[in-house]
Amino acid sequence: MQLNFKLDVFEGPLDLLLHLISKHKLNINDIEISKLLEQYLDVIAEMKMADLEVASEFLEMAARLVYIKTVSLLPRHEEAEDLKKELTGQLLEYQACKAAAARLALQNNGYNIFVRQPEKLPIDKTYMREHLSDELLFAYLDVIGKAKRKLPPPASAFSGIVTKRMVSVTSRIIFVLRKLYNSGKVEYNQFFATGDRSEMVATFLAMLELIKSKRITVSDDNTYVYFDRTKRAGQIQ
């Protein structure tokens, strides 16, 4: 039975170590040298079984890991801790450089890609579809119906709308002054006894204007309206 191995391509021993640390979820700040060495040697063995040439730098890293493990087994293993810290620093530095290179690669993505300008093709506006006569008739009637709906309504459509007569306030001021001119006193309700709503509103506004200018006054009980002749601006015709 033949075994087939699918091996990843690594840029160097540090790249391989980072891959193993990430794959097996090891703590990069507290590396377990025994586990990392075992996994690293397994990859080297797979590379040799696949007849791949193992670079000397990978073998040097393997020897380095073996040495760190050996020193850590000694009663006084301060040197092993220093070697682990040195390896951890190199891995962190390499990890930062690799992340920066990935970001730069994304920024430069597409800079070396050149595309051809779209070619202008002649436009053929000839209608090529075929329709039955009934379909054309229905389409024509539908268009005619939409056109009719867009036309403005005829004048007869507004025949039911009753327009109200506009009454100016000035005309009602003259009306109030003429009514008060002879007697000087008129009941308040007489000003609103006749006329439509527009006249009543205009009359009320006229009286407010005359009261404001002190041409007329109203009794306290709003029963009578008085004309102040001393404030008269001119002869009312």
Per domain, the residue ranges of the chain are 13-106, 169-231
Q: Which of 24-28, 48-52, 176-180, 195-199 has the highest mean pLDDT?
A: 176-180
Q: What is the mean pLDDT of the chain?
A: 77
Cα separation, 20 vs 214, whole angstroms: 101
Closest of 131, 228, 105, 127 to residue 177, by C-alpha: 228
With 70 as the cut, is the pLDDT of residue 27 above it?
Answer: yes
Residue 202 pLDDT: 87
Task: Using alpha carbons only, give the angle 29, 30, 36 rounded to the nearest 5 degrees.
Answer: 110
Residue 236 pLDDT: 42
Rounded mean pLDDT, 136-152: 74
Cα separation, 91 vs 15, whole angstroms: 8
Per-residue pLDDT tens digits for 51-62: 556 667 777 888
Render the burial of 89-98: b for 16+ CB within 10 Å, e for the rest.
Answer: eebeebbeee
In the structure, what pLDDT confidence band is assigned to residue 33 with cuts at 50, 70 and 90? confident
In the structure, what pLDDT confidence band is assigned to residue 6 with cuts at 50, 70 and 90? very low
Cα separation, 215 vs 178, whole angstroms: 12
With 60 as the cut, is the pLDDT of residue 76 above it?
Answer: yes
Measured between alpha carbons, how far is residue 17 from residues 37, 41, 59, 64, 90 in Å?
9, 11, 13, 12, 11
- Per the document, the length of the chain is 237
Residue 231 pLDDT: 57
Instruction: Compare 145 and 86 and report the one with higher pLDDT.
Output: 86
Spatial contact of 203 and 192, defined as CB atoms under 8 Å apart: yes
The secondary structure of residue 12, as a DSSP letter, is: S
Per-residue pLDDT tens digits for 160-194: 555 566 788 888 888 888 888 878 888 888 888 88
Rounded mean pLDDT, 80-103: 83
Residue 2 pLDDT: 36
Tokens of 120: 């202008």
User: What is the separation, in whole angstroms, between the first and last Cα of the chain?
Assistant: 129
Residue 163 pLDDT: 59
How far is residue 119 CA from its own chain's centroid? 35
What share of the chain has pLDDT > 70, as a percent? 78
Spatial contact of 228 and 214, defined as CB atoms under 8 Å apart: yes
With 80 as the cut, is the pLDDT of residue 106 above it?
Answer: no
Class (C level, CATH) for 169-231: mainly alpha
